[in-house]
Amino acid sequence: MTQTTEALQGFAKDIVTGLRQTPKRLPSKYFYNAEGDRLFQEIMKLDEYYLTRSEEQIIDTFKDEILKEFLGEDESFRLVELGAGDGSKTKILLEYFSNQQVSFIYSPIDISANVLVQLKESVNRELPKVNVQPIEGDYFEALAALKENHLQKEVVMFLGSTIGNFSRSAGEVFLSKLSENMSSGDLLFIGFDLMKDPRKILSAYDDSQGVTRDFNLNLLQRINDELGADFDLSKFVHYPTYDPITGETKSFLVSTEEQEVRLADVDMVFRFKAWEPIHTEISQKYSCEMISATAKATGFKVVRHFNHAEGLFVDSLWEK
């Protein structure tokens, strides 16, 4: 019997809701199953994907100035990281702070206990002097709990241009909620990918080895695996676009022919016209003016921008 969308939960509900929309869309947060995580690690090593290397360069170049800004007049702080992943960029800072005998606590927040256990183990192994206090749960709930028991300045880090995976308006809603859950004087250290040569941006999302294509298509494979669907991956093409006016990079999977796809577990069939797209991801690029306007609109004041040497990326420091 066909289920109503209301009766479905979580993954199934989001997928069905997205495929029922016109144009069809799928949430990019579902890229990150085990295979998606592996492919994203591969993407970060690609020549064309300049984002990770650029941010690493900023953090490494400015680590002493970043520390001065984080400390300000205070003697200690809590470094709260949203979505740390394997923490490779963060470890540059953790190592430097630890060598400088700074008093700080590192609190990565993640919804996955498994991610936190692995991260804590690797930081303990590589940097045994760092005091790691992971927090499992939703970002805003975790920040609200810290705010209630505010013992020292919090420095929230949101690296990697993850904010770019929200549209500008959704990003503003997210950052406003973040600001509501921080105290006056707390800091936000946030990575933005900058607008630049459109061809450079586009090739970062359309690499020559096809890793980003596989990353995008893996979402259909995940729906096959988890919802008993019969997407034929060879009948969809990966198609990224970049709009140099708005700074939006969008990724699509385009159906190469008219076809039907059945999601057996929810007993639903979705029809695709020839060349009908599914919008799977947004990767918003910013100008410095857009970053400042975003800070202002969401309850923050820009302290300073840490710029990449060739202007590819910026880590921006904001104060609540």
* Contact pick of 161, 181, 255, 307 for ligand AVI (by CB under 6 A): 161
* Contact pick of 87, 134, 164, 171 for ligand AVI (by CB under 6 A): 164
CB of 269 to ligand AVI, least distance (A): 29
* Contact pick of 54, 179, 212, 294 for ligand AVI (by CB under 6 A): 212
Q: Which two tokens stand for residue 103?
A: 């008093």
* Contact pick of 57, 122, 152, 162 for ligand AVI (by CB under 6 A): 162
| Contact flag: residue 171 with ligand AVI (CB under 6 A) | no
User: Of the two residues 189 and 205, which places its CB atom closer to ligand AVI in the complex?
Assistant: 205
Closest residue to ligand AVI, Cβ-based?
A: 283
| Contact flag: residue 218 with ligand AVI (CB under 6 A) | no
Segment 187 to 206, residues that bind ligand AVI, using CB under 6 A = 205
DSSP string, the chain: -PPPGGG--HHHHHHHHHHHSSSEE--GGGG-SHHHHHHHHHHHHSSS--HHHHHHHHHHHTHHHHHHHHHTT-SEEEEEEES-TT-HHHHHHHHHHHHTT-EEEEEEEES-HHHHHHHHHHHHHH-TTSEE--EES-HHHHHHHHHHT--SEEEEEE-TTGGGGS-HHHHHHHHHHHHHTS-TT-EEEEEEEBP--HHHHHHHTS-TT-HHHHHHHHHHHHHHHHH-B---GGGEEEEEEEETTTTEEEEEEEESS-EEEEEGGGTEEEEE-TT-EEEEEEEE-B-HHHHHHHHHHTT-EEEEEEE-TTSSEEEEEEE-
CB of 283 to ligand AVI, least distance (A): 3
CB of 28 to ligand AVI, least distance (A): 7
Stretch that binds ligand AVI, among 53-61, 63-71, 162-170, 296-304 (CB under 6 A): 162-170
CB of 32 to ligand AVI, least distance (A): 8
* Contact pick of 8, 51, 123, 178 for ligand AVI (by CB under 6 A): 51
Q: Among residues 23, 21, 26, which one has the least CA distance to residue 36?
A: 26
| Contact flag: residue 294 with ligand AVI (CB under 6 A) | no
Segment 252 to 281, residues that bind ligand AVI, using CB under 6 A = 281
Mark residues 17-46: x for contact with ligand AVI by CB under 6 A, - for none: --------------------------x---
Question: Binders of ligand AVI: how many residues, by CB under 6 A?
Answer: 12
Q: Among residues 319, 145, 264, 284, which one has the least CA distance to residue 205?
A: 284
Q: Among residues 216, 209, 258, which one has the least CA distance to residue 233?
A: 216
Mark residues 121-160: x for contact with ligand AVI by CB under 6 A, - for none: ---------------------------------------x
Contact footprint for ligand AVI (CB under 6 A):
43, 51, 160-162, 164-165, 205, 212, 215, 281, 283
